Amino acid sequence: MAEIISKKSATKEPGRRPPAALDKADTGDQISRRSFFSWLSIGWFAFIAATGGFFTMMLRFFFPNVLFEPVQTFRAGFPDDYTIGEVDLRWKNKYGVWIVRNNEGIYVLSTTCTHLGCTPNWLNSEQKFKCPCHGSGFFKTGINFEGPAPRPLERFKITLADNGQIIVDKTIKFQQEKGQWNDPEAFLNV
């Protein structure tokens, strides 16, 4: 084999000498085919183990020991703190909710636009929530009426504590398009 190749290359390029590695192939001080493959497998297993270990550790970072998140359930004062017919902005920055009181009671609206998640502004003179990103508009009830928002703002669970304070639970949300606004916890009768 080696001879043929060297002859061939010799005929093609007369000045070139036969490759050294081909000459030495059977002498034994080179690595054999069998041990090459076992080293190769060991190498690959080591590589996969190292990468796997690395990604396992990466995965661990998704579950931190301590979470610095604002609490999802909070006390929002007494029902009398809220004026009838007004959108209350006091919890917007801290908890991302608007608390609205109408003639019948109180409900809690999420400040996340249902289109792409910007925070709409409450425009008191126009009596609507208006999103600055793509122009979605919502009535005071949270119903979408202009712009691209496909569904109304979400409402959060609102209940009364024993001492008469309002408790807002953001972990439970009510979506109008699913008919959940009729749930007794979506609206606080006052």
Query: Which residues are at the interface with another protein (CB under 8 A)?
Result: 92-93, 96, 111, 115-116, 118-121, 123, 125-126, 130-135, 137, 145-148, 150-151, 177-178
Residue with tokens 């183990």: 49
The minimum distance between CB 166 and another protein, in angstroms, equals 20
Nearer to another protein, 78 or 91 (CB): 91
Residue 121: C-alpha distances to residues 17, 131, 141 (Å) = 82, 6, 14
The minimum distance between CB 84 and another protein, in angstroms, equals 24
The minimum distance between CB 68 and another protein, in angstroms, equals 14
Nearer to another protein, 121 or 159 (CB): 121
Nearer to another protein, 17 or 134 (CB): 134
Nearer to another protein, 14 or 70 (CB): 70
Nearer to another protein, 2 or 133 (CB): 133
Q: Are 63 and 56 in contact (CB under 8 A)?
A: no
Cβ contacts of 87 within 8 Å, gap of 6 or more: 98, 99, 100, 122, 124, 140
Rounded Cα distance between 105 and 190, Å, is 5
The minimum distance between CB 85 and another protein, in angstroms, equals 20
Q: Write out the two tokens for 17.
A: 């000498």
The minimum distance between CB 30 and another protein, in angstroms, equals 42
Which H helix or E strand runs over 35?
helix 33-60
Closest by Cα among 107, 113, 129, 127 to 174? 107
Nearer to another protein, 81 or 90 (CB): 90
Closest by Cα among 132, 133, 152, 150 to 141? 152
Cβ contacts of 164 within 8 Å, gap of 6 or more: 78, 79
